[in-house]
Structure 1
């Protein structure tokens, strides 16, 4: 009988091993046919040259980081500083940033080996009725100290791709935190402009009340002289409470504007009582950068954050693909064990174990393909979000440029209408005093003047708001180069902590 040796076993078993390996590779999970469908929109394909042709262009057309200071109101500057220091929305954005940075650290840790130490004592006594006199009825104990080592080798770069995706997501979260501050600044500025508008309406209502009271006094004198009847007096009397109601409505709008600002700076309603009347706000004088629309890609925080999320989604696809390939895990265990603690340092008490393991997914019911398909869909969603934000950015800039241009012309025309209405009211009042004109002419001229003044106040307020919104549409002073080094340093610290 021929003895079976190791070489004989290998010679006969090698074909079977190779056949089994080939069968495993043929049957293993495959990512064939799965790929994302989304494509980033080329900004040069979104033409805006004709729409923005009449806009003022300049090399430094983007707003400054503290663009609201151009409005020239120190109270507004103080409110924005207060809001940036204490508003809860900023605390939430910072918390989300810390979450993203912690995920960077976790992904970095997955790339590194794990080493731990454990120790303990084990004691055991079994009954004689189970094992007899020789083994039962005796107590035996042992102490042990062991070092555990494990390392999942990143053969295909999947773990690195996961870490890079976490870094990209953290970049996006950092920009989101900056965008939250820019949006809060813009919201406070818009609310402040709304408060200024409420005070304008208050002035218009106060002037209307004074005119109405003056007209009532005049009609009373004319009735006493027998020139006018009670009809004219009643008509004049009706104008006074109407003007008072408009004054009260304007005061309500002022109070609501103050409480809104108090909330925006992160304080209670009583903080609004300390807010004084804003100074006269002129529209911001803005220029558009001559490199639109491509320059928006780097100056709009929402677009920059969306681009980082596209990068992160692409890295997640790479990580999902790596799961289709074989994985190698190294495990080692070494330590000492002895019945007595004093014997743990003897060489006879040492033990060691090493166990490299190679695994290959063969059949998982389609779980890996479903996971990769999901990551492809996440990438498509990120691309769609980026493309939509790009369209929205150009739309917002174009709308506000058109609004600033049109409102300036409308305000100039409306100022002429106010001047004309004021002159007409003065003439009607003079004719009425002289007895050659009727009170109906005065009422008509007064109503026309009131409406013209209210319309002018609204247009002037819209001018200011449009210039604020244009600043926001142009990025609100966001400068990615100013924060890149700080973000890189913080991400490096989190990845090595």
Structure 2
């Protein structure tokens, strides 16, 4: 009698999941075309960044700043706390799969009034002492609890990877700010040189006006150039101060820490290169992509856990104890108390709670897949952007350097003619202006090229070795039938 009833209940539970399936489809990274974009890039068998990729910039002060930051900042502390929280949640999910055993000691007394119960019950106080051990266990027949545990493990692994991503983001932000600091100092040098040139031009103009060789126009132009140079110096100094404050904040310190940062030394950018691997392997070093993949894995197990709620649950409970009205009889054989047995339950009508719960799990999976796909596309775009920026900036630097060399030669010719009495100081000062402008332009291009090198190292994962789930299993939508889920749930 019980077997047909149980089978009917199981079939009723299975039918209630019909029509609820996730819609998300994960992209295959190797299907995202990169051949033409990476065609001109240097391909190598071993060009993933080193774990300490910032050392390639060649500045010991920068190395110390990043090491200081990685030792601990509020942002990293928060990321580490999220990891511990996720690990604890995984532990709770694991504990829910296991049996529990608890002990208790209880004393209870009762006296009924005689107005309610006449003697011999009423008017007499009675006490009971109880010592007991209770056992509870709910077998994971359909694998729902195991799926919840795996989902929590996936979230914990994603949090661990995101903690590494926070460190990569922090180190790259410090490196970029440090490059901006170097650029600000270079801008200050150019502004100071322009100030000297304009002051020299102003003095020369005053002499020519006094000698009757020129009018006030030359003086006013020189005064304007001098004031503009003052503004450039003030702007460069403000950028230096602001960048120092930004670096101090990234270190988790106050602005006084920024005052201790000396002028950066000459930074160098390495040649751009991309590992000669498939797109999937290339992006497998990206913490954001790997974390998104783990969240897809977790959401997949969340669907399995939600489906298991539709099936019958079995609860086993038992209690063994001693109970007596007096301590003298508590440990006698007559005081033994035993209670227990199995219980089976199945939701028949729940107002749509289970279906909505499964629909929510499907939506969470779709959201995780969409986020994973978005990370894949964005990651390849960042690699391509960094490569293309590096190539373009290398070409721009060559052109700018050629222009600067020509301007340098023009200034030298003007200086030679002046010393030979064939030219004037005005010619020399006029020839110096484009030279200073090109120095400023070169400083900006070098800073952009260094930023592109930093961005490429970050886009390639910053040298992190990350544990990732199988890309096929982790991104495959859960479309198996309930019967196959039940069959697989019985395997360890």
Matches for 1:3-152 after TM superposition, within 5 Å: 14=1, 24-25=9-10, 27-28=12-13, 30-152=16-138
Matches for 1:256-405 after TM superposition, within 5 Å: 256-405=242-391
1:297-332 deviation digits (Å, cap 9, x = unpaired): 321111111111111111111111111111100011
Q: Secondary structure at the match of 1:198?
A: helix
Q: Is the 8 A contact 1:205 1:243 kept in 2?
A: yes
Q: Secondary structure at the match of 1:279?
A: coil
Comparing 25-34 and 391-400, the one that deviates more: 25-34
Comparing 351-360 and 130-139, the one that deviates more: 130-139
Selected match of 1:169 from 152, 155, 159: 155
Shift of 1:343: 1.5
Q: Any stretches of 5+ residues in structure 1 without a counterpart?
A: 1-13, 483-497
Q: Secondary structure at the match of 1:133?
A: coil
Selected match of 2:398 from 394, 412, 426: 412
Partner of 2:443: 457
Q: Which has the higher helix share?
A: 1
d(CA) in 2 for partners of 1:303, 1:23: 45
Shift of 1:139: 1.2
Shift of 1:436: 6.2
Q: Is the 8 A contact 1:63 1:286 kept in 2?
A: no
Selected match of 1:238 from 224, 230, 235: 224
Q: Secondary structure at the match of 2:119?
A: helix
TM-score by length of structure 1 reads 0.89
d(CA) in 1 for partners of 2:87, 2:7: 43
Comparing 283-292 and 179-188, the one that deviates more: 283-292
Q: Secondary structure at the match of 2:115?
A: helix
d(CA) in 2 for partners of 1:460, 1:203: 15
Shift of 1:422: 3.7
Q: Is the 8 A contact 2:414 2:423 kept in 1?
A: no
d(CA) in 2 for partners of 1:435, 1:228: 19
1:266-285 deviation digits (Å, cap 9, x = unpaired): 10000000000000111133
d(CA) in 2 for partners of 1:25, 1:164: 25
Pair 1:224 & 2:213 matched? no
Q: Is the 8 A contact 1:25 1:362 kept in 2?
A: no
Q: Secondary structure at the match of 2:314?
A: strand
d(CA) in 1 for partners of 2:236, 2:256: 19
d(CA) in 1 for partners of 2:12, 2:281: 50
Matches for 1:470-489 after TM superposition, within 5 Å: 470-480=456-466
Q: Secondary structure at the match of 1:148?
A: strand
Shift of 1:351: 0.9
Shift of 1:429: 6.9
Shift of 1:27: 4.4
Partner of 1:155: 141
TM-score by length of structure 2 reads 0.90
Distance 1:394-1:19 versus aligned 2 partners, 3 A rule: closer
1:218-245 deviation digits (Å, cap 9, x = unpaired): 2233333332233222322222222111
Partner of 2:487: none
Partner of 2:407: 421
Comparing 289-298 and 149-158, the one that deviates more: 289-298
Please tell me the root mean square deviation across aligned C-alpha atoms, in Å. 2.2
Q: Secondary structure at the match of 1:132?
A: coil
Q: Any stretches of 5+ residues in structure 2 without a counterpart?
A: 469-492
Q: Secondary structure at the match of 1:155?
A: coil
Distance 1:19-1:76 versus aligned 2 partners, 3 A rule: closer
Selected match of 2:166 from 156, 172, 180: 180
d(CA) in 1 for partners of 2:7, 2:416: 107
* Count of aligned pairs between the two proteins: 466
Q: Secondary structure at the match of 2:17?
A: coil
